[in-house]
């Protein structure tokens, strides 16, 4: 969940990706989508507030603050390392930038902390979901299967449960459910059974131990297709450790409630589980509230939001060539058209 670029599964970070180890995904498109909402009172973003709900290294926020010199940005992140990096990067913008340590479903409390209402008080929200390259770069965090490291995977180091805790304490049924639901891993039951057997000899503590087991558990023909055999298991454990999908389900309604008329919410998702949640939430927000079967739209029952993208947008070939991590992105955006109840 980060302004830093995303990897699906821990591909090593290229060294030519800028001073903060990343190129923000779909940066120009995000600016263009949010600009109409941020410039309602002037081209400089006067009186406008943007919430960067996945601050990361601050790449997206930096661009918005530079392009709209009167804009205020509130950046959210649960990772204290990200907050420090972004805070140093964006310090030159003074009080136009405020960082808040929270998950992105903490939007209402973050707004209250900044003296704003949780409803109809801001002009835009940006989500850049997933694990950031900044986190993957730091092998000690355990997000990547490309280097041996402690099996941690906590975006917030204060969380009580690590990936190792899950592997070493959950029973076979619970492990199977996590791998199947969050990783869409077709060998979930087989992997879970081997995890339970292996940990009886020696508890899991490193990423290399898990990768070794996965090479043994997944049949050779399946390992030859679909990317690295550890990709889905690492994704599943990361999602479980950080409660990412539950957080997203709570964060999207909060973001929609927070924007005023003309305000926009832009979401970039990188895996199908996230995108399904975004698609469903946006479909509900853009649906008419007129009872089915009536020939006309009842006054006051118009959709609260309208789509400003046609389905999910993808990165084009040029962006993917410059930044391969953009290949998986799916971007959706909506704009508030009316107050709730048509008021």
- Detail the residues annotated as belonging to a binding site for S-adenosyl-L-methionine: 58-60, 77, 104, 128, 135
Please give the annotated binding residues, written as ranges.
58-60, 77, 104, 128, 135
Question: Do 99 and 81 contact (CB within 8 A), yes or no?
Answer: no
48-73: b (≥16 Cβ within 10 Å) or e: bbbbbbbbbbbbbbbbbbeebebbbb
């Amino acid at each position: 969940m980060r302004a830093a670029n995303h990897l699906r599964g821990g591909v090593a970070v290229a060294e030519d990706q800028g001073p903060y180890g990343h190129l923000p995904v779909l940066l120009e498109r995000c600016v263009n989508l949010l600009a109409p909402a941020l410039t309602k009172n002037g081209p400089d973003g006067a009186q406008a507030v943007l919430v960067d709900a996945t601050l990361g290294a601050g790449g997206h926020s930096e661009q918005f603050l530079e392009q709209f010199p009167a804009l205020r940005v509130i950046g959210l992140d649960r990772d204290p390392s990200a907050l420090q990096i972004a805070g140093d990067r964006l310090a030159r913008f003074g009080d136009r930038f405020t960082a808040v340590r929270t998950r992105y479903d903490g939007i209402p409390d973050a707004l209250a902390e900044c003296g704003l209402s949780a409803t109809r008080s801001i002009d835009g929200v940006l989500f850049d979901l997933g694990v950031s390259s900044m986190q993957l770069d730091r092998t000690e965090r355990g997000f990547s299967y490309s280097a041996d490291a402690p099996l941690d995977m906590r975006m917030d180091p204060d969380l009580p449960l690590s990936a190792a805790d899950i592997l070493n304490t959950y029973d076979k049924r619970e492990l199977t459910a996590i791998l199947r639901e969050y990783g869409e891993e077709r060998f979930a039951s087989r992997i879970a059974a081997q995890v339970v057997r292996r940990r009886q000899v020696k508890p899991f503590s490193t990423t290399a131990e898990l990768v070794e087991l996965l090479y043994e558990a997944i049949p050779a023909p399946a390992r030859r297709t679909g990317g690295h055999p550890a990709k889905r298991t690492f994704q599943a454990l990361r999602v479980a450790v950080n409660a990412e999908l539950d957080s997203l389900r709570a964060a999207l309604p909060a973001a929609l409630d927070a924007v005023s008329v003309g305000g926009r919410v832009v979401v970039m998702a990188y895996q199908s589980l996230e995108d399904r949640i975004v698609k469903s939430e946006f479909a509900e927000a853009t649906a008419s509230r007129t009872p089915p079967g009536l020939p006309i739209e009842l006054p006051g029952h118009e959709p609260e939001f309208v789509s400003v993208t046609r389905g999910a947008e993808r990165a084009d070939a040029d962006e993917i060539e410059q930044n391969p991590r953009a290949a998986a992105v799916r971007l959706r955006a909506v704009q508030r058209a009316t107050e709730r109840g048509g008021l």
